């Protein structure tokens, strides 16, 4: 399933799943497993990839591990698809430095959440604006703002559109909050051509509504990009009915990932299909309950995704 034709140049669009960080059973980063995960995800039709995101367990990696994973992935991808590197940090200077290193290593884009820390430490709009302006000034690749509940920060469509118009590199938006479709519509209406990439997220659980609202990309889990392509490809080709049928078919698995498994879903599927040796998640995260894992695999087998065949 070739994807280079539509994703190798801007505007980036399509399916850009989050790459899980692969660990051995002892908890150490498994770079060979990481490369296999990358190869599978490209073979499964990913238009691009996103690394070091929340679904990559980025909050459980040391700075040194982040750097190693980033450079390993970018070197191994070697330009086959664009790679987005998540560089979020509360510190403006650290986020800017992370973003510069990502660009120098070959990232096509950086994804950044608004600055927050813990349950209560938030930044007002003036500080958020200046944060993204300074990061933008440090790089020459696009910034994707991740608008997700984890940040606990209200980002109005008007404010996001203003940043898109006024801050050079702010041009992509991953919207994954309640009422995403409505927010996407308003963002696109207010931002116009400055909104280069209105994307959805949250494992594509609201993908059809978001496509109808104008989404041009989806950042999903990494276990079944081929399934998400079956929804997006016909939609972009003008076959909404075909997309809807595919969405109905894949939604039980999307829902099971989103509601039951979270970031563990991709690893469990990859291990089941021989892509990786271990589906280890770092403590304090807990492994999937055996019955939950069984339910995930049962639903997936009905759909025959590449992940369950790739490494066998």
Is 100 noted as a catalytic residue in this protein? Answer: no
User: Which residue among 174, 183, 267, 271 is the active-site one?
Assistant: 174
Task: State how far the Cα of 307 lies from the Cα of 295, in Å rounded to an integer.
Answer: 16
Residue 56, SS3? helix
Own/partner contacts of 185-190, CB < 8 Å, gap of 24 or more, are 185/213, 185/214, 186/157, 187/157, 187/160, 187/161, 188/213, 188/214, 190/157, 190/158, 190/161
CB-based contacts of 124, cutoff 8 Å, min separation 6? none
Phi, psi values for residue 130, rounded to 5°: -65, -35
Task: State how far the Cα of 246 lies from the Cα of 207, in Å rounded to an integer.
Answer: 11
3-state helix, strand, coil in the chain (%, to 5): 50, 10, 35
Task: State how far the Cα of 126 lies from the Cα of 35, in Å rounded to an integer.
Answer: 41
The H or E element spanning position 298 is helix 290-301
Residue positions annotated with a catalytic role: 174
């Amino acid at each position: 399933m070739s994807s280079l034709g539509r994703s190798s140049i801007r505007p980036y669009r399509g399916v850009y799943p989050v790459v899980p960080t692969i660990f051995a059973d002892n908890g150490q980063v498994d770079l060979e497993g990481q490369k296999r995960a990358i190869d599978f995800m490209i073979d499964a039709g990913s238009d691009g990839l996103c690394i070091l995101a929340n679904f990559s367990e980025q909050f459980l990696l040391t700075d040194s591990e982040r750097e190693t994973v980033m450079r390993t992935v970018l070197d191994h991808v070697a330009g086959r698809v664009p790679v987005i590197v998540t560089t979020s940090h509360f510190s403006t200077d650290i986020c800017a430095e992370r973003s510069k290193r990502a660009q120098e290593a070959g990232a096509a884009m950086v994804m950044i959440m608004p600055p927050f820390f813990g349950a209560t430490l938030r930044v007002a709009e003036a500080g958020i604006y200046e944060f993204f302006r300074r990061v933008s000034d440090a790089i020459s690749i696009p910034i994707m703002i991740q608008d997700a509940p984890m940040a606990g920060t209200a980002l109005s469509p008007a404010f996001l559109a203003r940043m898109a118009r006024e801050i050079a590199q702010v041009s992509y938006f991953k919207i994954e909050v309640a009422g995403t479709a409505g927010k996407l519509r308003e963002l696109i209406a207010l931002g116009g051509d400055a909104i280069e990439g209105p994307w959805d997220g949250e494992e594509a659980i609201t993908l059809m509504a978001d496509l109808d609202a104008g989404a041009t990309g989806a950042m999903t889990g990494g276990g079944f990009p081929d399934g998400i392509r079956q929804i997006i490809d016909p939609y972009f080709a003008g076959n909404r009915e075909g997309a809807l049928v595919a969405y109905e078919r894949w939604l039980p698995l999307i829902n099971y990932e989103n509601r039951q498994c979270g970031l563990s879903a991709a690893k469990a599927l990859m291990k089941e299909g021989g892509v990786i040796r271990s589906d280890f998640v770092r403590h304090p995260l807990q492994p999937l309950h055996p019955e939950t894992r069984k339910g995930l695999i049962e639903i997936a087998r009905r759909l025959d995704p590449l992940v369950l065949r790739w490494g066998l």
